[in-house]
Amino acid sequence: MTDQLVEQLQLILRNSNSRSDDYLRLSAVVLSSSIVGLIREWMTNDQLEVEALIDSTTPILLNIVQATEN
């Protein structure tokens, strides 16, 4: 499942910039690891509400995406 997530994220990133495939793959790995980690945290922490988690972490993930464009 994570391999598919990495591949999809790499395709999305490739559409928005012209970085090397190696760089985009590493960026996709960082993003997918972050997403999986957030899901795990949400699943194990009863105190976290999914909406609050999404609201607080979306800017962080978007910063990673924007970094690939520079």
Residues 6+ apart with CB under 8 A from 51: none
pLDDT digits (tens, 9 = 90+) for 2-11: 889 999 999 8
Q: Provide the number of structural domains found in the chain.
A: 1
User: Residue 62 is part of which domain span?
Assistant: 2-69
pLDDT digits (tens, 9 = 90+) for 13-49: 888 777 888 988 998 999 999 999 999 999 999 898 9
In the predicted structure, residue 70 carries a pLDDT above the cut 80: no
Two structure tokens written together for 45: 């922490």
pTM of this structure: 0.79
End-to-end CA, the chain: 29
